[in-house]
Amino acid sequence: MADNNGQKSTIGRYRWMILITVIVGTFLGRLDQTIVNLALPKIISDYRITVTSAGWIATAYILANAIFVPIWGKLGDTIGRKKVYLWGFGIFIFGSVLAGFAWNLSSLIVFRVIQAIAGSADYPTAMAILAVTFPSGKERAQALGIWSSSFAAAVVFGPLIGGPLIDNFGWRSVFLINLPVGIIGIIMAITYIKESVSEKKTIFFDWWGAITLGVSLASLVLVLDKGMSWGWTSWESLVSYFVMLVSLALFIRVERNHPEPIVDFKFFRNSVFTNTLINNFIVFMGMMGSVFLIPIFAQTYLGYDATKTGYLFIPMAFMIILAAPLGGSFTGKVQPRYVIGASTLIAAIGIFFFTSIDARWHAMNIIFPMAVMAFGIGFGMAQRTNIIATVVPQNEIGVASSILVLARNIAGAFGIAVFGTILSNSTESKVLEIARYSSLHAYTPNFVGRFTSLIILKAQIESYRTVFWYAFVILIVGAVLSLTIKVKEEIKPGGEEVLILD
């Protein structure tokens, strides 16, 4: 007992340093993902490959990351979160250095897979570490909110950091920069993070569950990523659907019969857990599915270069960083469903401003709606994460958090695929519709060319508006559904705030 109390005392003294430590790891992993996309044009030029081939650099990373998130979550709960965190961090740095010295596309893809496998250990173990480090409900929510904001910060600061690196030191520098920063992160983790494991020891690890889930997720993410270029009814897509469904059926059968499943279905019998997951999926689907279009619009129709486009996202990052701990501070004061509902509604209002998007817009027309949307998303981050960390047993926080990040990743991929398809189909139909009600009175080649270009431009702009209308409606639905997250807070005799079913 004395040792346990001593460890708790040590964790208490260093808890904010532990938070900073896991933020370093999370920020580095997400930053790498963002920066590599900027480096693709240089990689294509150096390796003399096609854009389609280069796309596998990102696709391979997404696939490997999705597959291993639940596996690392289970291993962290079983053999120790600090151990898994350090192994993941170390292998990620090793993979980064290898990627920095990759000699062709195939070797780069292999090293990116190594990075992705290792990087997927960060989220579930970091969340579990923070849940143990901050046992108090209110303090935990604030810590999880601050930590969650590092995701947004990495996405936004990626272009700002990556651009100068690539321009001055070449594309390999975006991988090699992970070495010095990673070493600092590992030293901090060794120094401040204390080991924690689940009280329930795993005897038989669910390898068949991990394999069948991995195959199902790989097929799903692959078809979401490549479906538009393949065609949603092409033979490649049909094979992916078939493999996904068969492996998912096998996964469900394995999990129901395994004594220690990698994903315990009892989580989904908890209405609070399930409803929070649904809201999280809707929010990230709407956000990722629509926001990925903003850089394309800014560069295609407003004439911005990549650097100037990156500047548009800076206020968005700061609003998320501001809103996340602010939303966490409402823990114990306002029911989580109202905070989550309000945050989703604010995000929807931000998206609504984009329904009037126009080629005559200037920077502030884009910055303001994104800032509103970002504030809304950040405001509910801590509450969602805290609910997931609180309504499941502490010995299964890693697994539960891996389900949360899995839902976010799939929602993002799903949103991008769906809204990309909506944009493409809407443009085709609107070109025909606008052309039907338009007339040209001068038939010189110059006028015909300009007439056709204007029709296409108008159709494309209206299609962007259509996409944002869909995103707005989806987020409104998410705001309404968030009211089903019925939880209340109680104070245990020891003073700890806990969330329970209402």
The pLDDT of 25-31, averaged and rounded, is 80
Backbone angles phi, psi at 500, to 5 degrees: -135, 170
Least confident of 76-80, 280-284, 379-383, 421-425: 76-80
167: left (phi over 0), alpha (psi -120 to 50) or beta: alpha
Higher-confidence position of 404 and 502: 404
d(CA 208, CA 216): 12
Q: What is the pLDDT of residue 501?
A: 41
Beta strands 487-491 and 497-501, pairing class: antiparallel
Say if residues 333 and 364 touch (Cβ distance below 8 Å).
no
pLDDT digits (tens, 9 = 90+) for 108-137: 988 988 998 888 887 778 877 887 788 766
- In the predicted structure, residue 198 carries a pLDDT above the cut 70: no
Residue in the structure block whose two tokens are 């897509």: 237
Higher-confidence position of 219 and 392: 219
Instruction: Name, of 52-61, 76-85, 113-122, 423-432, the range with top average pLDDT.
Output: 113-122
- In the predicted structure, residue 353 carries a pLDDT above the cut 90: yes
- In the predicted structure, residue 494 carries a pLDDT above the cut 50: no
d(CA 229, CA 459): 21
Alpha helices in 329-396 (DSSP H): 336-353, 363-390
Confidence of residue 435 (pLDDT cuts 50, 70, 90): low
pLDDT digits (tens, 9 = 90+) for 38-57: 777 788 888 888 766 776 77
Higher-confidence position of 353 and 192: 353
Higher-confidence position of 427 and 451: 427
- In the predicted structure, residue 75 carries a pLDDT above the cut 70: yes
Query: What is 37-64 written as a DSSP string?
Result: HHHHHHHHHHHT--HHHHHHHHHHHHHH
Looking at residue 194, the DSSP 8-state letter turns out to be: P
- In the predicted structure, residue 369 carries a pLDDT above the cut 50: yes
Higher-confidence position of 442 and 124: 124
